[in-house]
Amino acid sequence: MFDFTLELESKECNARLGRFSTPHGEIKTPVFMPVGTKATVKSLDHKDLKGLGTEILLANTYHMEMRPGSELVAEMGGLHKFMNWDGPILTDSGGFQVYSLNDSVKISNNGVEFQSHLNGDKHMFTPEHAIAVQERLGADIIMAFDECAPAGVSEKYARKAMERTHSWIKRCIAAKTRDDQALFPIVQGSRFKNLREESAKFMAELDLPGVAIGGVSVGEETDAKFQAIDYALPFLPKDKPRYLMGVGTPDDLLEAVERGIDMFDCVLATRLARHGAFWDLDGRHDIKLSRYKKDQTPLCEWVDHYASREYSKSYLHHLTKENEILGMRLISMHNIAFLFQLMKDIRYHLKEGSFMSFKTDFLNRFHAND
């Protein structure tokens, strides 16, 4: 049911091509996964996502449990039916919110007490509860509950969070009852080489359908992020998909694919779009700038999508300045399509044996105006 087929390993680097089967379809890797935190990729519907070529998307366990509640979603037929999406879905466990909402959480060995960002009510998330919520939501891939430590913590703090994460994955495995969901553990260990290696070895020995690397988009510098990844990767199984959580800039995707990562997610593409920022081959830009007021060129003809090719920057400048929803929708679709086009080209060049030259050329142009 959850078979990973490794189709090609690059002779230039550690990059690889694969396929991962799920109950709702097959995923070609490496793959970028758009984030629909609250069961929606903001401003886009399922036809938009299909038109973009989305293979798998995410929803967030914490936010879905806060509202509308996993029991209601289950009553409505599960997350796929609720949001009218028939492709694969991955749900985060709520572990990232342990980091992002750290001012309103209390962490213990039993779990994490959240104070709801909606109304201040207290909610206890244990590993068992995180699994139960995800089973009610019904995603194809579910994540273990973990403690995502912030950047800059001491080794003592990082070890305690890692050991707690190791304890919690055992409880997640014991609590899991559905065979049609793949549970991924999450490697932690902050910036410390010995901890990352220890955590990677521990998670690999569990022999679960895939494995994730977490705690690398929590405020650290880029070099530290990839150093933490490099510490873990040699100890992860080659015959399982490797998921790097919370990473989604063009630079990071290329760097991580080179290292052998298969799956990525990030809210950045749509978050940037809501503020008028877009990517093209020459970098990141702000459509609100006056220089786009009379620019009749499209966002990026390299991208094979109507949002990228069929609307002028002048029109999108106008929509964004007027806070029109259509502007948000079109730039959101473009930014996602840009990353999908990048992943498509990455897969092509891996097959052709030219990935490293493609990466160099892409990044040289992308950063030429920095």
Q: Are strands 277-280 and 263-266 parallel, antiparallel or unpaired?
A: unpaired
265 is catalytic: yes
Is residue 127 situated within a structural domain? yes
* pLDDT score at 99: 78
Low-confidence ranges of the chain (pLDDT < 50): none
Residue type present at position 96: F
Cα–Cα nearest to 212, from 254, 255, 256, 177: 256
| CB 198 within 8 Å of CB 162 | yes
Identify the domain boundary among 266, 291, 318.
266
Range of the domain at 362: 281-366
Give residue-wise pLDDT tens across range 269-281.
999 999 999 999 9
Compute how many other C-beta atoms are within 10 angstroms of the C-beta atom of residue 144: 29
214 and 316 both lie in a single domain: no
Catalytic annotation, pick one of 92, 140, 252, 262? 92
209 and 240 housed in the same domain: yes
> Are both 85 and 112 inside the same structural domain?
yes
20 burial via Cβ count (<10 Å: 0-12, 13-18, 19+):
buried
238 plus 317 within the same structural domain: no
Task: Collect all residues with Cβ–Cβ distance below 8 Å to 194 and sequence separation of at least 6.
Answer: none
Residue with tokens 């901890």: 195
pLDDT score of 94: 86
Half-sphere exposure of 286 (CA within 13 A, CB side): 5
Amino acid in the structure at residue 21: S
Do 230 and 352 belong together in one domain? no
How many whole angstroms from its chain centre is CA 364?
25
Does residue 169 share a domain with residue 39? Answer: yes
| Catalytic residue from among 146, 252, 262, 265 | 265
Strands 122-125 and 112-115 come out as antiparallel
Q: In sequence order, which residues have a C-beta less than 8 Å from that of residue 68 and are 6 or more positions away? A: none
171 and 66 in a common domain: yes
For tokens 């063009």, the residue is 250
173/302 same-domain check? no
Which of 237, 266, 295 is the endpoint of a domain?
Answer: 266
Residues 175 and 289 in one domain: no
Question: Looking at residue 25, what is its pLDDT?
Answer: 98
Distances (CA, A) of 20 to 83, 90, 114, 300: 23, 13, 34, 30
- N- to C-terminal Cα distance for the chain? 46
Helices (H), 176-296: 193-204, 222-232, 250-259, 268-274
201 and 314 housed in the same domain: no
Q: What is the pLDDT of residue 224?
A: 87
Q: What is the pLDDT of residue 218?
A: 84
Instruction: Say if residue 235 is in the same domain as residue 313.
Output: no
In the chain, the number of structural domains is 2
| Max CA distance (Å), the chain | 61
Q: Tell me if residue 180 is catalytic.
A: no
The predicted pLDDT at position 102 comes to: 81
Q: Is 298 helix (H, G, I), strand (E, B) or coil?
A: strand
Residues 240 and 337 in one domain: no
CATH of the domain at 189: 3.20.20.105
Tokens of 299: 């966002």
Q: Which helix (H) or strand (E) holds 92?
A: strand 89-92
Is residue 272 included in any domain, yes or no? no
Q: What is the pLDDT of residue 172?
A: 98
Six-digit token string for 191: 């910036």
Q: What is the pLDDT of residue 255?
A: 97
